[in-house]
């Protein structure tokens, strides 16, 4: 399903784009999902993009989740592949837990693997992958079980979070 709009209702991060469901921003072509950010005036914003989610469509607890992704770089670009807890509507963020399988910020030469949860107000844990050539596809993966979340790029582990400490119940729901 699509998130449409600017995120001003609580799901955005003060982004500068208007999220649409238009094929100019989100389409499937030759078996690839293509999400395109465009510089254009739309919905009162100067940029458009796409934001899609599996909320109320599919859910996971533990397992191996991965995607083969080619991402852009540039100032103001922040592509991400991430998950929120199913209970976000009832408990809010960060109490629902968040697992960022891959985030890439601007022109950095690395990606980030991160978790967010509510422990004494809010906690953050994340590390960076090694240097990557973003002109190529890479496979971003987590392996998630009852004791840990492990992050990989192209089969190489770069991060591990112990989810049996620091009141990390969010990652067991």
pLDDT tens-digit readout, 109-121: 999 999 999 988 7
- Inform me whether the pLDDT recorded for 10 exceeds 70: no
Q: Which helix (H) or strand (E) holds 101?
A: strand 98-103
- Per-residue pLDDT tens digits for 35-70: 999 999 999 999 999 999 999 999 989 999 999 999
Q: Once rounded to an integer, what is the mean pLDDT over residues 139-153?
A: 97
- Per-residue pLDDT tens digits for 71-120: 988 888 889 999 999 999 999 989 999 999 999 988 889 999 999 999 88
Contacts of 10 (CB under 8 A, 6+ apart): none
Structure token pair of residue 70: 């080619």
∠134-38-12 over CA atoms, to 5°? Answer: 85
Return the active site residues: 98, 103
Cα of 80 vs its chain's centroid, Å:
4
**Would residue 101 be called left, alpha or beta, if left means φ above 0 and alpha means ψ between -120 and 50 degrees?**
alpha
- Inform me whether the pLDDT recorded for 124 exceeds 90: no
3-state secondary structure of 34: strand
């Amino acid at each position: 399903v699509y998130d449409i709009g600017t995120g001003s209702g609580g799901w955005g991060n003060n982004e500068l784009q208007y999220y649409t469901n238009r094929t100019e921003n989100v389409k499937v072509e030759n078996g690839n999902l293509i999400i395109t950010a465009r510089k254009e005036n739309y919905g009162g914003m100067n940029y458009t993009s796409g934001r899609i989610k599996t909320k109320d469509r599919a859910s996971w607890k533990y397992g191996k989740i991965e995607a083969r992704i080619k991402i852009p770089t540039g100032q103001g670009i922040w592509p991400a592949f991430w998950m929120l807890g199913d209970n976000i509507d009832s408990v809010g963020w960060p109490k629902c837990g968040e697992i960022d399988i891959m985030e890439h910020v601007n022109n950095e030469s690395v990606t980030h693997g991160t978790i967010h949860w509510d422990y004494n107000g809010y906690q953050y844990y994340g590390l960076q992958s090694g240097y990557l050539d973003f002109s190529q596809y890479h496979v971003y993966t987590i392996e998630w079980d009852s004791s840990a979340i492990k992050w990989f790029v192209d089969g190489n582990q770069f991060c591990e979070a112990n989810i049996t400490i620091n009141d990390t119940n969010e990652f067991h729901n």
